[in-house]
Amino acid sequence: MTGDVTELRIHRKMIDSLYVEAMVLADEARGYFDQGARVEREALDPLGRVTFSCESLKVTTRLMHVIAWLLTQRAVDSGELSPRDALDPTRRLGDAPVTDAAVIEQMPADARALITASIDLHRRVAHLDGAQSASLPADSPVQWMQARLAMAF
């Protein structure tokens, strides 16, 4: 029993730590892409400006997927959501938009740092998301049928 409590505390601390990291990174990205990068963006050629804007959207998308997933984990920890419900595809971590390494190299240094940080954070959270689905036992055929019957009525 104490192992479960300790494991829950460790899980909660890890989720809280990742949440703070994601929120700080999101705030840094917002500040940089909204205001701080204006001069750097204007120095790029037209295609570079479009690429820069696309990359800012990719960073935002990665971070919002991570934050949504972390909020789901907090809901599970607080008992508002069951662990099984958290595995619903709509509550799983969304796919990360792909950024080509050559594109990252063309970005200004601050943009590169934000892009790589968002990729790294999403990758780490994806490992946790994958581990969750592997850790729960599969439903028995009876449970599956009962769930289908419950949805029908």
- Predicted TM-score (pTM) of the model is 0.81
Burial class (CB in 10 A: 0-12, 13-18, 19+), 8: exposed
* pLDDT score for 131: 84
122 neighbors 68 (Cβ within 8 angstroms): no
> What residues of the chain score a pLDDT lower than 50?
1-2
58 neighbors 81 (Cβ within 8 angstroms): no
* pLDDT score for 136: 53
* pLDDT score for 151: 52
Nearest to 112 by CA among 95, 125, 99: 99
Predicted confidence (pLDDT) per residue in 91-110, tens digit: 999 899 999 999 999 999 99
Say which DSSP state 87 is in: T
